[in-house]
Amino acid sequence: MALQSEATCDSRAAAQGPSRVYDHPCKACAVRVAGICAPLEPRELERLSAIASRARLAAEKVVFCEGDPADTVFAVTEGTVRLSKMLLDGRRQITGFLSPGGFLGIAYSDTYSYSAEAVTSLALCRFPRRQLEGLIVELPGLERRLLSMAFDEIKAAQDQMVLLGCKSAEEKLATFLWRWCLKAGRRERSDCIVDLPMNRTDIADFLGLTTETVSRTFSRFAKDGILALPTTHGVILRRPERLEEMASGEF
Amino acid sequence: MALQSEATCDSRAAAQGPSRVYDHPCKACAVRVAGICAPLEPRELERLSAIASRARLAAEKVVFCEGDPADTVFAVTEGTVRLSKMLLDGRRQITGFLSPGGFLGIAYSDTYSYSAEAVTSLALCRFPRRQLEGLIVELPGLERRLLSMAFDEIKAAQDQMVLLGCKSAEEKLATFLWRWCLKAGRRERSDCIVDLPMNRTDIADFLGLTTETVSRTFSRFAKDGILALPTTHGVILRRPERLEEMASGEF
DNA sequence: CGCGCGTTTGAATGTTTTCAATCTTCGTGG
DNA sequence: CCACGAAGATTGAAAACATTCAAACGCGCG
């Protein structure tokens, strides 16, 4: 499973002052993965660090594939990961994007039930699954945190089902941009500047549309003055409130 | 969150022989909710029973509404529950159907993030949320089971995203019928007899279609000899293997 | 038996997709 | 530094699939 923490990836643990954690190769990781480390005592954090190793991955590389033996769990510390499932004929559904703090690959299953790829270049923490499961038994805070993250992921999945099942192309893209604006938007007066690390095909496969429809909808939004597209990955939301309206928010 | 156990609802606890559990009003419930009780020791089961109460609900009645204060968690012991989310204008997405063993209403949130209604008449176990959360802290087996059920629910949600985002109307209905056949189908030679407790509108809102499209697709399947519709809720799958093919299974 | 609701069927419409071509961007090599 | 090539993005036109609107059917219940 892929767990995305809503916590920001500030250097929380840095406030704990010097400790043995600092000598460990996972220092940087321990500092950043607020998602899972947040509720841990320093001693517990050290236990987690002890089983972790770090890895870097170039953009578009595969973290793991659906069906692979699931022997490693990952935490994202830098970059964006794309999670997807494929049909036999190659049609793809992206089930989510993970940012720093996100957690992926955990499940009570012997194989991964989805694929994970690097959208941008990545920094990851790796946890051997066996050892992490052992730690979960020992550290109740860790299990509680996982359960909380799992619930958040279920909620996000339900919102995505509403998007996929109920919304029009325009509403889908508006929802997508509005979410990204809330999560990672940089405000500048009434504008919201958003960087979309993924390409149009990724957006299309996330929203259940084609690239052409995504592109057309972007163009229409730009023509209507709702946003500007200085580059394909850089979007300036000129009227974020219009997007929020168009998103037809749930409840 | 709604957790659907894959376990059948056999009277597992009955094998434990007479005990104080039997004197408790939740006897019947404790017997049936294999979903959450399965990994519990008899003593632990008793603790769970002690905070539970039972309820019955007529078909089409509301269990709880999106936005209501989430102070009760439920387990389904009889009947089928429908979980849904609504957009402001009334469009509805059904995120899942729960059968006996299913668990609903748990989340680390003060309000329910979705609505739950009775598709058929129901028997439910009720757990006051505060007390259940206290019990989770005390009983590690309970928390482990919840985490496992949460992972299963995430996996199911991802499959549903694939269905909603990638599949055609025909593939959607074929997938739906094939799943139901696997879960609750009664085999008879090559046939599979399925009872669909929900109506066409429910199916449509689950699959991201309209009732008309669902109905037309049913008719086409019947015309092609893939299934027969003796009643609207009773379906005989004459060629389940054709449905499986049409479902374009994942991976 | 008749009424009402849910389902089915029909025809027209519309949104999104498909197919195709062009444009843009970015990386690479001259 | 510029030119080139390839991949991604955009735009256009035609087609397809699902929806919408409308009407008829049939089943269950009073």
Phi then psi dihedrals of residue B193, to 5 deg: -95, 125
Cα distance between residue A217 and residue A203, in whole Å: 12
**Tens of pLDDT, residues B122-141:** 999 999 999 999 999 998 88
Q: What is the token pair recorded at B156?
A: 């199911």
Residue among B66, B164, B205 minimizing CB distance to A251: B66
Task: State the CB neighbour count (10 A cutoff) for residue A232.
Answer: 11
Residue among B71, B94, B73, B95 nearest B146 (CA): B73
- Of A108, A154, A164, Cβ closest to residue B165: A164
* Of A177, A83, A101, A109, the residue nearest A145 (C-alpha): A101
B210 CB inside 7 Å of strand C: no
- Cα Rg for chain A, rounded, in angstroms? 19
The DSSP letter of residue A20 is G
| Burial environment of residue A187 by CB neighbours within 10 A (0 to 12, 13 to 18, 19 or more) | exposed
Would you say residue B97 has pLDDT above 70?
yes
Residue by residue, pLDDT tens for chain A (251 residues) are 777 654 443 333 444 444 444 455 555 565 566 677 777 777 888 888 899 999 999 999 999 999 999 999 999 999 999 999 999 999 999 999 999 989 999 988 999 999 999 999 999 999 999 999 999 999 888 899 899 999 999 999 999 999 999 999 999 999 999 999 999 889 988 899 999 999 999 999 999 999 999 999 999 999 999 999 999 999 999 999 999 999 988 76
CB-CB neighbours of A18 under 10 Å: 7
How far apart are the C-alpha atoms of B129 and B131, rounded to whole Å? 5
Residue B58 has pLDDT above 90, yes or no: yes
The token duo for B43 is 């003593």
The CATH fold of domain A2-163: Jelly Rolls (2.60.120)
- The single residue listed with the structure tokens 């036999």 is A88
Residues from chain A that touch B151, judged by Cβ atoms under 8 A, are 1, 106-109, 150
Crossing angle of helices A140-166 and B200-207, rounded to 10°: 110
What contacts A100, CB < 8 A, 6 or more positions away? A9, A32, A33, A76, A77, A78, A79
Instruction: Domain A168-246: state its class.
Output: mainly alpha
Over residues B180-229, the pLDDT tens digits come to: 999 988 898 889 999 999 999 999 999 999 999 999 999 999 999 999 99
Please, are residues A168 and B208 in contact by the beta-carbon 8 Å criterion?
Answer: no
Domain chopping of chain B, boundaries: 2-163, 167-246
CB-based burial label for A54 (10 Å; 0-12, 13-18, 19+) = middle
* Phi-psi group of A219: left, alpha or beta (phi > 0 → left; psi -120 to 50 → alpha; rest → beta): alpha
- Residue A137 backbone zone (phi > 0: left; psi -120 to 50: alpha; other: beta): alpha
| Cβ-contact A116, A94 below 8 angstroms | no
Q: Is the CB of B168 under 7 A from strand D?
A: yes
Return d(Cα A39, Cα A136) in angstroms, integer. 13
> Is pLDDT above 70 for B98?
yes
Average pLDDT, chain B: 88
Residue B38 and residue B13: Cα distance in Å, rounded?
A: 8
pLDDT at A9: 38
In this prediction, residue A41 carries a pLDDT of 76
Q: What letter does residue A213 receive in the DSSP assignment?
A: H
Residue with CA nearest to D19's C1' atom? B210
Render pLDDT for A97-140 as a digit per residue (tens, 0 to 9). Answer: 999 989 999 988 999 999 999 999 999 999 999 999 999 999 88
Question: How many angstroms is C1' of D17 away from CA of B168?
Answer: 9
Contact B161 A164 (CB under 8 A): yes
**pLDDT of the residue at B9:** 38
**B184 within 8 A of B99, measured Cβ to Cβ:** yes
Pairwise CA distance, residues A67 & A11, whole Å: 34
Q: Taking CB atoms and an 8 Å limit, are A87 and B250 in contact across chains?
A: yes
Q: How far apart are CA A199 and CA B233, in angstroms?
A: 44
Q: Is the CB of A229 under 7 A from strand D?
A: yes
In CATH, B167-246 is 1.10.10.10: yes
CB B123 within 8 A of CB B138: no
- A161 and B166 within 8 Å at the Cβ level: the answer is no
Q: State residue B27's pLDDT score.
A: 56
pTM: 0.91
CA–CA separation, B51 vs B63, rounded Å? 19
Residue A87: which of A50, A115, A128, A59 has the closest Cα?
A115
Which among B154, B165, B166 is the nearest to A150, CB-wise?
B154
pLDDT digits (tens, 9 = 90+) for B5-41: 544 433 334 444 444 444 555 555 655 666 777 777 7
| Residue B19 confidence (pLDDT) | 45
